[in-house]
């Protein structure tokens, strides 16, 4: 039993019906869901971009509204993936007992966890596309490089979805998620270059920032939206993939320990 709990997750196409089930449920409230996910980053973009931007004209030679826009899209994807794997997935697992019903079908728990991760990444992409549309309407990001942003948004969403599923499996109630957002997500936003360059941070904090997934995401997306190539892109992608793989494995283990014990 212990060996089964810590085994490497198995993969199969059986996750697809679960993904489709979540999509069909979401489609009924798609507009409200997207608006809810983009409201905060959109307000931040407009308020800080034009409000603070009128006082702070440029950052590293970049107009502040453009600097902030590239950070906001990463933040939006992170928040959408996190909310989906926390509140929505927890409701399906614990409150609505949807996972229990799924596990009575010829499905493995690994299929359910994989489907939840990929669905959260898909949903976060919808929010990312909405923010990207606003950014384009502001005249930002009209470069061929922006096309590369699209697959990266899915990678970023998958990374944060895998991390959110760990917290989902550990939580005893919705209140537990407050700790994750307060102690992990919010500090990460402020030290990952969303609002200001990480070069402004103390040296020790810069070293921590370099290891964070949101910093890797911002360092990939920002140059592309500015029509430039990221520095060390493979290193940034490797950071995201490392968090994704480790997060999914740990999420699978803690979910098995909770549901299969």
Q: What would the pLDDT profile of 147-206 be if each residue is shown by its tens digit?
A: 999 999 999 999 999 999 999 999 998 999 999 999 999 999 999 999 888 988 899 999
* Bridge partner residues of 192 (DSSP): none
pLDDT of 208 higher than 80: yes
| Closest CA relative to residue 140, chosen from 73, 217, 192 | 73
pLDDT of residue 178: 93
Segment 108-144, tens digit of pLDDT: 899 999 999 999 999 999 888 888 888 888 888 888 9
pLDDT of 236 higher than 80: yes
d(CA 138, CA 222): 15
Domain count, the chain: 1
Percent of the chain at pLDDT exceeding 90: 56
Helix, strand or coil, per DSSP, at residue 166: helix
pLDDT of residue 240: 97
d(CA 169, CA 16): 21
* Bridge partner residues of 63 (DSSP): 58
Residues whose CB is less than 8 angstroms from the CB of residue 25 and which lie 6 or more positions away in sequence, other chains included: none
Average confidence score pLDDT of the chain = 88
174, 160 contact by CB (below 8 A): no
The helix or strand, by DSSP H or E, that contains position 28, with its residue range, turns out to be: none
Q: What is the pTM of this model?
A: 0.92
Q: Which value, in Å, is the radius of gyration of the alpha carbons in the chain?
A: 19
Count how many Cα atoms sit within 13 Å of the Cα of residue 6 in the half-sphere of its side chain.
Answer: 2
Segment 61-85, tens digit of pLDDT: 788 888 888 888 999 899 999 999 9
pLDDT of residue 8: 85
165, 251 contact by CB (below 8 A): yes
| Closest CA relative to residue 50, chosen from 126, 138, 128 | 138
247/40: higher pLDDT: 247
* Bridge partner residues of 59 (DSSP): 62
Dihedral pair phi/psi, residue 151, rounded to 5°? -65, -30
Domain range enclosing 66 = 2-6+14-259
């Amino acid at each position: 039993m212990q060996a089964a709990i810590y085994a490497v997750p198995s993969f199969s196409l059986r996750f697809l019906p679960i993904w489709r089930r979540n999509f069909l449920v979401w489609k009924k409230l798609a507009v409200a869901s997207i608006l809810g996910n983009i409201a905060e980053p959109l307000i931040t973009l407009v308020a800080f971009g034009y409000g603070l931007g009128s006082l702070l004209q440029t950052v590293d030679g970049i107009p502040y509204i453009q600097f902030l826009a590239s950070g906001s899209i990463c933040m939006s994807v992170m928040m959408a993936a996190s909310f989906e794997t926390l509140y929505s997935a927890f409701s399906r697992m614990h409150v609505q007992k949807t996972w229990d019903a799924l596990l009575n079908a010829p499905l493995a728990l690994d299929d359910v966890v994989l489907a939840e991760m990929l669905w959260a990444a898909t949903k976060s992409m919808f929010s990312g596309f909405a923010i990207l549309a606003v950014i384009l309407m502001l005249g930002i990001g009209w470069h061929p490089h922006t096309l590369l942003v699209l697959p990266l948004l899915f990678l970023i969403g998958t990374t944060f979805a895998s991390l959110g599923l760990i917290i989902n499996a550990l939580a005893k109630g919705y209140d537990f998620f407050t700790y994750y957002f307060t102690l992990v997500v919010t500090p990460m936003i402020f030290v990952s270059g969303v609002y200001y360059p990480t070069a402004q941070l103390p040296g020790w904090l810069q070293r921590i920032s370099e290891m964070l997934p949101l910093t890797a995401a911002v360092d990939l997306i920002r140059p592309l939206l500015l029509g430039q190539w990221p520095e060390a892109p493979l290193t940034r992608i490797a950071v995201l993939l490392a968090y994704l793989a480790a997060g999914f494995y740990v999420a699978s283990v803690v979910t098995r320990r909770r549901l299969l014990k």
